[in-house]
Every structure is written in C-alpha cells, then in structure tokens.
Structure 1
C-alpha cells in the first residue's frame, strides 16, 4: 500500500490542484514527477463506451437498461453484471465506470426513467449495492449518480429540486447511503440541478454534512460534465473533481483562490488525498501503461446479457397464449419487429458489438419460413436516420468559407463532436462543415426530411433547401437541451433515382454543455393502408406477435416525455391486429409505463424494455418458454398519465416553474401514492406472471432483538407443473407515529427459483432502520413504539399473509447501518 498522506504532502499546491480537474473529456492528468498515473473514466451504466463520442467508436457489450435490471429483483444477477462490466471497463482502458444511475422514478415521464432501477428506494438500494460490489470486486470504481434530486430532464442544468429533508433522507438519498455504508462505493457524481436552491456541485450540506460527516464517506465526488460552475463554492463544499477538462473554474483560478485565502490550503490537500485514495483503489495511481481500447466480445458476456434480458422481461398478462408452441405460422408485426431497440438515449448509449432484432430471434427459434411481416406504422420521434457513406469537409470559422482543412467520412448523417474536432484542425468553438453524399429512395412518393442540431444546419436535396435549422434556430428538447426540436421538410422522390444530399453546418455558442451535434433523417409517412395490411397479415397466420413501444429517441437523457401514450398510430395498430387475430401477443419495448387502451382485448402482454444487444434472442427465449419471464415491475403502471404521483394543476410540482420543481408529494411516490389516493393502477408495483404458479404460507415474525431487528419466515411452494421463479415481497405497515407515514413500504424481498412441486422456507431480516422514520428536528432516526404489521405477497396489491411485531421506542444514529 502506498503512503498516500506522504505522497500528497510531497506534491506542490499546483500538483494537488491538478488532480481536482480533468485533463480532457475522459481523464485526470498524470503527475510524472511523482510516478502518478492518469485516471481514465468511461460512461456507463448499461455498458462501457470508452473514450469516443456518443456515436461510433470501439464496439462494446450492451447490457439491459436500468429499469430492465430493476425488474429482475435479483441482487445476485446484478453482482454478476457488475463483474462483467468491470471487464468491459478494463477493455476500454478505463479505471472507473460512470454508473450506476440510482435516481428514483418520481414520475412516469422522466426521460431518464429507463436508466434508473425503481420507484422504490429499498429495491434501488439493494440492486445498487450488488452492482457496485461486483464492479469494485474487480478493482474498477463505480461512480454512483446523480447526487441528488435529478428526477426530471426538464431544464435539469439549472432547475432547483425543492425536497424536504425527510423525503430526501427516506427516499432519494437512501440508495446512495446504502452504497456508501455497505458497498463502500469509491466515487459519486453530483447532479446538474440545484437541491433546495444550491447547485448540487457546491452544496455543502449535501457533499460534506450528509455524505462525509453523517455517512462517513471517504471516496470522491466528481461533477457531471460541465456541471461544476464555480471555483471556491465547489471546492469548499467538498467537490473533488471538476469534469471534463481542461479546467474552467479551477487550475490557476484555484491556486489563486488558495493564495488569497478564499479556499483553505488544507481543503485542497483533503480533496487531493481523496483523489489519490480512489486512484489507488481503482489501479490508476501507478498505471503507466499506454491507453488502449479494445472490442472484447466475450461469449460468457453474451450469455449473461441474454439471460438478464429474459429475467427482466415482465409478463403483464397471459390468458393461456404463452408460451408459444413451435408449430404453425407466426405473423411478426410492428415498428419494433425488425429493429433492435436495445438501449435508451443520451450518455449511456454506445456502439454495440451487434444487435439482435426480434425478427432474427424469432427466425432462429422457429425458422424464417414460418414468419410473415408487416410494419403497420412508424413510432419514430425523428425521421429515420439517413445512412451513407458521406464526406464531411471542415472549414475554420462559421461561414463555410476558406480552404478545407480536414476531410473525413461518415457512415450515416449523425455526429456528436467533442474536442478535439477534425483531429484538432479547427477551433472547437469556431468551425463549419459541408457534408455531401447521395440517397436512393426505395419507393416513389412524398418523403419527409428532418434535421436536429446542436449548432446551425440546413439540408439540401438536389441543391434545394428542404429542411432549415439555420436561420431562426430555436432551442428545443434534443441533445441535452443544447439542440433544436426537429425541423421537417417534404420532398417528392422517385424510386431508384439517386438524389444529391448536402448538409451545411456551423457551431453555435453553448448554453451549458460544450459540444456540437447533428442528425439528419429521411422517411416515408405511413397511414391507414399500412395498418390494414398489418391486420391482413395477422389474420392470415395462426398467431401473431406485435412489437410496439418507443426507442432511445423518446426515452432519452435531456428530454422528458409529454405523455405515456404509445407514439404515433401504434394504439390503432394494436387494436386492428387484436381484432384481426385474437391469438396475438403484444410485446412492449419502452423505458417506463405506457397507457394501454386495448388491454381488455389482449390475451398476452409482455414488457421487454430495452434488453441490450441480445434483444431478439432474449425475447424469443421468453415467448417460446425456453426461459422464464422472470421480471416483476419495479415501477407502477398507471391506467393513465394523470394518475401518476407528479400530476398536478400546479406546474411547480411538475414540470417546474421559474427554475424550481417542488416535490409536494413528499414520501408518497410510486405505489405509496396509489395507495394514499385510492387509485387502482393498471399493473401494481411488483406485479409479474410466470409460466407456473406459486403459493405462500406460514408467515411468522420474531420479536425484535436487542437492536430492534426482526426476522420473518415463510414458506413458498411451486404449485405448478414446471420450474419457475418468483419474488417474495415483504411490506411494513407502521405503528402510529407523530409523523405521516405511508400505508405500506417495501422493506425486504427475495427471488426464488423452484422446481415443480418444490417448497422452500424463506428468511427475511428487517434491520432496525426498516421500522424508523427520519426525525428532522432531532437529526436522527426514530422508531415509534407500538405494533407493526408485516405483509407478504407477490406484489404491492397481492399481500395475502400478515404478521405483527411490537417495537419499543428507539433512536438510531445517522451513522448507523441501513
């Protein structure tokens, strides 16, 4: 072990300060004089992208997204995924993965809902602890995010999340607390937003009082990218690392602040010492090897992703239609049938090793000759991406004048430019480009051309401007709120006749995040004819599987949804196909709940989420019964958007007003809200069916031990004819207390795999904190005296067994275990 105290004291002030800012987009500078290596990080959490931009780069394994992992309710699986992600991170030459995301699913429209585990803090905490344990067991640092209050993507870089302290402690901070105290997480990332009026990156109460003093944290806190906005406030609050580099608010500014007495020298030493400790833990401290990124496509990782995709799939409804027999013909319908929707959008996206579409998965399982296909309708947010090749020519300055200083090829018309741009041939804040190529339409008729840009752009077809996002450019909800909403123009084209495509682009000043981006798409609109054809194809087959939902264009960082209806004409398509062939399985791929006006007519509905690169194989495994649909909902599905916890007539509650979003619902989010308001959800928290049946019996609870902990025991029996899995869920109904408490709260769970006819006793331990509420006035946790009811079952709405325990009044310190 290195003597880190001696090492930090051997550093000059300038060297200590150098560790507190990035050197570039993905690394912290080395200090060769002292043999200190370079710390390199990689975006996550559903894979390790490496040092490229959001598009392209070295390929990587794409794992199921957060909500799919949350639906597994399986900490053991999460630990295995953490280990696999550590190998992926190392393959990208990195020491830390920017993951997991553990913000709570406060609303059903959060654009980043897909990236988070659950609406429940206990479920989120247990899965996060296991994920981090697996990752850090291999010497790779987790970077748990976003600390704290980032539950919406609307104006997230400036919005203040106004949350009372009790709700913060009991809901939003609990997963972070568990990870600090139990998993000993090595790094956290602060959120962009303010928390109760102060930016998270400079919030002393959050970063020092709670994190370090109350919880005893000894790791680092890094800013989200460009999320550090000041020098002295962030340093004095306890933010270790400003990312990305080069420094904007630190470096020479911080050295001067120390010399002027605005920042204590000891504070810089402390933050630098934290950095050295994290670097030693993650292997960066003495790593002098050249940075190398490789595409490590491991068979064992493929198998793990496929298994996890099936285990996260939730069978919402099944009237005997599933599992499908491998006989007869199968109509494969829908906009997601021949597209592999494997991940959400934003910083978690990566360039996968491969993508298996549902069509490919079904063809491998049944044979392509037994399948027929019709798309039925579209579900895209933006026009389908225009593929190349295309040539991009870069110019210095923003006016497309002067000589071409760099040329490169694009495989499609989407790019995300971070410094250095054009190999460093242009100033990243002052350049322009002309992109040229051709497009050959497959069919004649009207085509729609769309462009979005973090910058100014216009698209010409055969020399004529069709889509113009240059003049009159207006900020929208794309590219992390740095881009415009899609501008669409129309042009009539002839099948088989190539047309010339030219895109002109120039940079614009950044509002919050410094990058440039462009996306151009082209597509043909669909209507009644395509829906009728899909119904005809469905009617002509023995059974149909209908793939509908959203994509990473909708479920994306930087943009909340406006509702939870299926985009486009998909509800019409579902209704038409169900009428044409009642033996239809509806497969949903979304990053959260959706309304289902057709649910009464559907015999089987499977929620498959975005399950990673093995998408089609994992779905086929479940549909044909080769794998159990192992998922249980980690977020409640309401009947309609208006039923969800953040629906309010007051815009301060959601989406926010005048820079503030007020968490008026307090503790009553998720199933707590539906219980309190007596609202029947479409599918409750914890719900999920399998291909066998289970019974639960004999719930008992011990008297509290000397600490207040309680042990519950019950028996679970597989009463069906085949092996399967289920999740035992234990909820607590509290005794009367001097504060308002939810009617029931999840406190423990266990996932079981049982053979047909097998019975097993399950033991669940409730620590003292399970019975406590946070006492804001006293600054500690309190257990109110009286009787507590334990309720066990298979979902928050299916709790057939109860037992009672009596607690004495107790006080629990904030530094105690979760």
Structure 2
C-alpha cells in the first residue's frame, strides 16, 4: 500500500470513509479505515519535545529540548538538523507519526507570549533553521507541521483577532519561512493559525491556502487546523483545509456529507482532501501502522548530550568585562529565583513532562563541587502560586454539582491538570462533571501564605475548612488557560507549623473558543525582606555572584502576552543590591525574549540563557567554566526599553489590537529593519571567549567572499552575517536585510574564507500590483558583519538588469 497512488486509493473509499479521514477521532489521532486496512494517523506536540497524548503538564516523560528562540540563537543549521532527527526518535517513542512543529512565526515585538517558541524576528534566519529542522524530522520518517500559517504574532484574543497585514509585508516577511518549508524542505504538513488574516479566518482563507500555498508554491501536503481552530463546514473544505482537529468532529462528519449532498462541496474536493491525507499517511508509514498506541519514556544518553550541547551553544554572551570564563575554583553564590529551579521550557502546548530538570545550582555544584557553591533565591518571580506536590484524593462526579456518590476515586500527585478524554477513570464527561480534591499542605515554616486558584470552569479553595479563594460564583474570564480561564484569585492565610487540610471543589462550565477545562491550585510563602537580605549577604561573601533572574513558563507561554519588558517581582532590585556588594557580579537571564536592564552598567557580565531544555544547569555550567564556548548570537533585537520597540507608539490598533483587529502598521519595519533608537543589543550580537573577527570582504557578481581570522588564544566560533543594502531602491525598503550567514569554528591563529552565493531573490522586493518578485538594477552594498549594527566591512556590486520572478 505505501507505493499506491493516493488519488487512486482515495477513489476506492466511500464518501463517508473519505470524510472520516478529514477530522480527528480524538485529541491526537485520525480514525482508521478498517475495510481497506488503512491505519490510524497519530500526532503529538510539540516544538521542543514530543509529549505524546498526555496532558500538557503530565503524561509519559519525554526529552525537553531547547526552545525555539534558543535554537534561533544557535545560528547553526546542522545542529537544528540533529535536533530534528532526535525528535523523530522521540515521536516514535510516543507511537506518533506527525510532530506539531516547528513554530515559525516571526518575533514582531518583544511582548508576544509565544515569542520563546519562535526562532527569530528575521524571516531568512527563521527559514534556514526551519528547513534544517524539517529535514531532520522528515528524513527520519516523521512529518513536520510548521505553524501557525499565518499572522499569529500575538496571543491576545488570538482565536478571533484579525491580523491586518499588507501583502508586501506578508510576502517579504511573514510568509518567507513557510515558503521555504514548502519549496526547500518539502514539508508534509502545515497548521493554520487561529487568527483571521485581513478579516478571514486562516482556516478558511482560499487566497492563503489554495492560491498561495497550493497553486503558487506547489504544496501537496496536508493543511490541518489548530486545535478548535476550524469554524465551518463547507468554507474550510473549499478553501483548502484538509484536516479538522481535534476530534470528535464538530463541523465535518455527517455535516460534511450533507454539504456534499446539498451541492455546497464538490465530491472531487472531498476526494482531493482525502488523497492529501492518504499521501501524508503513506509518507509517515501510518497507512500500514496497525501497531499499538503505547507511549514509552526512553531517555538516550546521546540525546541528553545533544540537549546539553545545544543549550550551551544557544547561550549568548551579551557583555563580558573579562571575568568569563571563570578560572580556578572560586566560591560562587548562585542567587536569584531561577538559581534553585530549572527553567527549561516555556508554557502552553510546548510544555511536557521532562525526564529530568537540572537547575543552575545543580549544574554548578556538579561542575565545581558542593562546597564551592552557595544558593539563595532572594525573591520570587512566579506569576502563580506554587503547585502542590504530594498525594491528593480526587472524587469524581458525573454531574456539575458534586452530587451523590462519586463515580470514580483516584490519587494524584499534584494540583494542576487539564480535563481531557479519559479523566475520572473514563466515567465522566470532560465537559460536564465535577470533582473534590482533598489532601494536606505542610509549610516549610509558619507565617503568612498566599493561596491561589485559576480555572477554566469554576473552583473554590478551602484550607482547614475556611474558604480562602473563590472562583465559583464570581468567576470572570481572564488570560489563563489559553484565555479560557480566569485571572488568578489569591487569598492570604496565616499558617502554623504542621499539616493543614486542603480542599478544592471544581465544576465544569460552558467553554468559549477552545473547549478547555482545567484548573491550577497553588500555595506558597512569599519571600520577604529576610530572604532578600540572605541572598545579598551570600553574594557579599563569595568570590563571584551569579544572579539567575528572568521569567518562567507561567510568563512566557501560549495564550497571553507579557504585560511589560521588565523582570517580574523584585528581581531588578536584587541584581542592583548584589552588584553593590559583590566582588564580581554575573547576571544569567532566562527569558523568552528581551528585557529591560536598568542594572546593565553595574555588572561584569551578562549571559542570555533562554530556556535551554532539561540539561539547563549543566549547559550553563559548561559556559561559565569555559568548557564550552558561548557561540550564540541574538536572533531578536534587544531594545533598551519597551517604548523603543517598533510595535509601540503607533496606537492600540497596532498593538495590542482594537475592535478585533491588530494592524501591522510598521509594515516591513520590524526588529533591526525598523528606524528608531539604537538598541541595547542589536540583532546578531554575541561575544565569545576568543577574538575571531572579519578581516576582509570581496564581491564579484553575486558571489561574496569573507575572510575570518582567530586572533585569540583559544579555539572558538563566530557567526559571519551577510546583509544586502540597496543604495537607491525604486520603492521603500529596509536599510539592510540578512541574506546569508555561516557559523565558523577556528583554532587559535587560524584563518578561513567563507563564501556566499546570492540568488536573484536575495535582492528582490515584492511587486504587489504585478504579483512578482523584482530584483531591481542598481548598486547594492554588501555588509559582512558580526551583527545588524556592524558596518565595518563591505563591498559594492552593480546589478545592470531587472529580474522578475513568479511568487
């Protein structure tokens, strides 16, 4: 069957069987066609690991890889291919055929909650890395699903918002990575975005899915909806959406059969969509896969080593006053809220249950010894109160009133979950049920505690039979759980030493757009002035203070945008206080994008470590000690302050959006392409532990040669970047655009020549009226650079003829 023509095979199916292939049967799979021995296609999230079919916070353990922006910071296509290949193994461990990744939307601004999932603000860098990732996956038999097609650069009201983007910006920026995924990598699947594009949902956008994707780019794969991102029957099928997810179906099935019978959808269209699905199933082997759906937690030493290496390579050394790498065996105070905790990943559908989570403190202790490292958090940076762990009894009711006898009783180990199919022992409907969770909480010391709940549904929290937090009768929709849940309701309670009884009551309620039901309960003692002082004193008494600050998966997450570019809580104060007393202060930032740094000039070194995967602490220790070169480079511009970002200052319509529309008013001027104040750190910036620099650049025709030399005392790596700048363009264009890069590794004293061959498209702009790419004649300056702000080395070429190209 794998060699059989999918069009002919689709013709052998009845209409009902064809339709069955066009929607999920459950959250993660498509039903088989048993009559013809056609197996079931299974999919899994996500970009930084194959989670399998479990919930977002539990399920079978899997490897947590570095997040998208960390991969972007590597500027290393070969490394990304390795990651793709390793992820193919991980997907097979979960008995899946399709990985819902990579995320290749652009970083339009600094506040997008899903910024961490995306590679870069630049379409060329994003495209090159996406091609490597997709090839790594698909060369090993697992389908990639680049997402979200297209215009999902913000999480605010993303399921209904219309992204208003002019066609030139679409063609020159936002569509570029998807075009490369299709034309170069040959991706087998693509996921449409939730949002509307210029007024029409992307899942039913005929210009986007049929004219551009299929007719112009020649795509022959599957277009699937994001989960609950399909809204209609005939419109989606006719526009080019092959697969509605998840199941059971809402808009297809009998409705789609009826639409065909009513003449709203042609039978040939159904057959084409079914053939696309069968082609995907052939490519992945799902068509003949009659095996089990067992999921395995397989931890490979080679994959652990890859994650550690990739996490270190993604680290960007923003500033270094000669203190790094650390020498000898200094006594280090590792302070800050991220010091004792591993910040390995962002939140939302990208998160998973990692095999292990190595914190900075653990990594440095492993590298230097326990007696050389002291740890003090100093302050908090969480958005929600800490989830409880232990043993909790859950009584499930097949109604929304906690009425009668429970239909199922079980024990859980934490107080956070999504209600998915199979909950309550399979004896309750996830959309219409209730439960009572009971257990105990024992504080580490007596005092004031904060207890918080948020839920997609309704919940109330009792401690020692006292109502502490109520999200039941007064529940209001907010920004949690993909904008389906309320903002946290937090109560304060004075707790003595010893165990305290905890009771959470929950009931489901009507959902909105994504049909999510979920809850989270947390209790914690807020860190106070004494904790702050402890961290400062630890820093004062050490040879080096490593201040680990940033955010976590509660802040950098799908479903909401960040409220500001400042570090949450008292973190800025902590950095300033440590810098005032420590002999040497090194700041380690873990965020999914840029932050303001009011303490910047007062510290000796700054490392941007992102969310580098499950080996986070080991990767950080490797960089700090010099075992590994920090060869990451910024994939996103770091403005000095939020007001300097190109999405700011253009009115609410430009960001965060107004009246259901977000207008991309900056046009082509995102990131380094924007006119504006000089950033704190430019796109492409990053330092190393040696001195590798460009020494010469030459250009002949469309070929550029760049000479690079290592004048330092140790081996290292440098990212050579090539920017194309038209000197007199016939239309407004950015001053310069990245059109080539190469990562070069050199021994001390070594020299290398890096060659770039620029195709016509590297010089082109999109002529909307003519519907063509145009490489205009004229003079072009070619900058060989170490960042987007580097203008030291350049060559000039003259193009004498106009070249026009089809889209």
TM bracket (short chain): over 0.9
CA–CA distance in 2 between the matches of 1:510 and 1:421?
A: 17
SS for the counterpart of 2:146 is strand
In 1, are the aligned partners of 2:650 and 2:665 still within 8 Å (CA)? no
Tell me which residue corresponds to 2:233: 231
Tell me which residue corresponds to 1:694: 692
SS for the counterpart of 2:348 is coil
Tell me which residue corresponds to 1:721: 713
Cα offset for 1:534? 1.3
CA deviations on 1:202-236 (whole Å, 9 max, x unpaired) are 00000000000110101110000000000010000
In 2, are the aligned partners of 1:769 and 1:812 still within 8 Å (CA)? no
Quick check: 791-800 or 655-664, which moved more?
Answer: 791-800
In 2, are the aligned partners of 1:736 and 1:784 still within 8 Å (CA)? no
CA–CA distance in 1 between the matches of 2:806 and 2:464?
A: 67
CA–CA distance in 1 between the matches of 2:420 and 2:432?
A: 13
Cα offset for 1:737? 2.7
State the number of aligned residues.
Answer: 805
Is 1:280 matched with 2:282?
A: yes
- 5 Å matches for 1:592-607? 592-607=593-608
Tell me which residue corresponds to 1:660: 661
Compute the TM-score of the two structures, normalised by the length of structure 2.
0.99
CA deviations on 1:97-150 (whole Å, 9 max, x unpaired) are 000000000010000000000000000000000000110000100000000000
Tell me which residue corresponds to 1:433: 435
- 5 Å matches for 1:730-769? 730-769=722-761
Tell me which residue corresponds to 2:485: 483
Cα offset for 1:813? 2.8
Tell me which residue corresponds to 1:192: 194
- 5 Å matches for 1:339-738? 339-495=341-497, 497-673=498-674, 676-677=675-676, 679-703=677-701, 710-738=702-730
SS for the counterpart of 2:693 is strand
Cα offset for 1:700? 1.1
CA deviations on 1:469-509 (whole Å, 9 max, x unpaired) are 112101111100001111000110112x1110000000011
Cα offset for 1:265? 0.8
CA–CA distance in 2 between the matches of 1:126 and 1:6?
A: 35
In 1, are the aligned partners of 2:483 and 2:559 still within 8 Å (CA)? yes
In 2, are the aligned partners of 1:312 and 1:632 still within 8 Å (CA)? yes
In 1, are the aligned partners of 2:564 and 2:642 still within 8 Å (CA)? yes
Cα offset for 1:649? 4.6
Quick check: 418-427 or 178-187, which moved more?
Answer: 418-427
Tell me which residue corresponds to 1:261: 263
Tell me which residue corresponds to 1:43: 45
CA deviations on 1:698-719 (whole Å, 9 max, x unpaired) are 211121xxxxxx1110110011
CA–CA distance in 1 between the matches of 2:806 and 2:347?
A: 37
Tell me which residue corresponds to 2:777: 785
CA–CA distance in 2 between the matches of 1:730 and 1:481?
A: 41
SS for the counterpart of 1:27 is coil
In 2, are the aligned partners of 1:608 and 1:619 still within 8 Å (CA)? yes
Tell me which residue corresponds to 1:707: none
CA–CA distance in 2 between the matches of 1:304 and 1:810?
A: 46
In 2, are the aligned partners of 1:161 and 1:193 still within 8 Å (CA)? yes
CA–CA distance in 1 between the matches of 2:398 and 2:806?
A: 57
CA–CA distance in 1 between the matches of 2:802 and 2:9?
A: 44
In 2, are the aligned partners of 1:326 and 1:366 still within 8 Å (CA)? no
In 2, are the aligned partners of 1:582 and 1:602 still within 8 Å (CA)? no
SS for the counterpart of 2:502 is strand
- Taking only aligned residues, the RMSD between alpha carbons, in angstroms, comes to 0.9
CA–CA distance in 1 between the matches of 2:421 and 2:534?
A: 48
CA–CA distance in 1 between the matches of 2:559 and 2:440?
A: 31
Tell me which residue corresponds to 1:112: 114
SS for the counterpart of 2:555 is coil
CA–CA distance in 2 between the matches of 1:185 and 1:683?
A: 34
Quick check: 395-404 or 87-96, which moved more?
Answer: 395-404
CA–CA distance in 2 between the matches of 1:30 and 1:772?
A: 46
In 2, are the aligned partners of 1:730 and 1:746 still within 8 Å (CA)? yes
CA–CA distance in 1 between the matches of 2:78 and 2:547?
A: 32
In 2, are the aligned partners of 1:582 and 1:603 still within 8 Å (CA)? no
CA–CA distance in 2 between the matches of 1:611 and 1:175?
A: 23
CA–CA distance in 2 between the matches of 1:199 and 1:279?
A: 27
CA–CA distance in 2 between the matches of 1:695 and 1:143?
A: 38
Cα offset for 1:554? 0.1
In 2, are the aligned partners of 1:780 and 1:811 still within 8 Å (CA)? no
SS for the counterpart of 1:642 is helix
CA–CA distance in 2 between the matches of 1:392 and 1:814?
A: 60
Tell me which residue corresponds to 1:128: 130
SS for the counterpart of 2:350 is coil
SS for the counterpart of 2:42 is strand
Cα offset for 1:688? 0.3
CA deviations on 1:33-74 (whole Å, 9 max, x unpaired) are 111100000001100000111121110000000000000000
CA–CA distance in 1 between the matches of 2:358 and 2:367?
A: 13
CA deviations on 1:573-602 (whole Å, 9 max, x unpaired) are 000001110401110000000000000001
CA–CA distance in 2 between the matches of 1:544 and 1:355?
A: 22
- Aligned residue among 783, 788, 794 for 1:796: 788
CA–CA distance in 2 between the matches of 1:3 and 1:539?
A: 71
In 1, are the aligned partners of 2:776 and 2:803 still within 8 Å (CA)? no
- Aligned residue among 798, 804, 807 for 1:806: 798
In 2, are the aligned partners of 1:701 and 1:804 still within 8 Å (CA)? yes
Cα offset for 1:743? 0.4
CA deviations on 1:650-680 (whole Å, 9 max, x unpaired) are 100000001000001000000011xx22x11
CA deviations on 1:157-191 (whole Å, 9 max, x unpaired) are 00000000000000000000011000000000000
Cα offset for 1:297? 0.2
SS for the counterpart of 2:84 is helix
User: Unaligned stretches of 5+ in structure 1?
Assistant: 704-709
CA–CA distance in 1 between the matches of 2:349 and 2:535?
A: 35
Compute the TM-score of the two structures, normalised by the length of structure 1.
0.98
SS for the counterpart of 1:609 is coil
CA deviations on 1:781-810 (whole Å, 9 max, x unpaired) are 011111111001100112311111111343
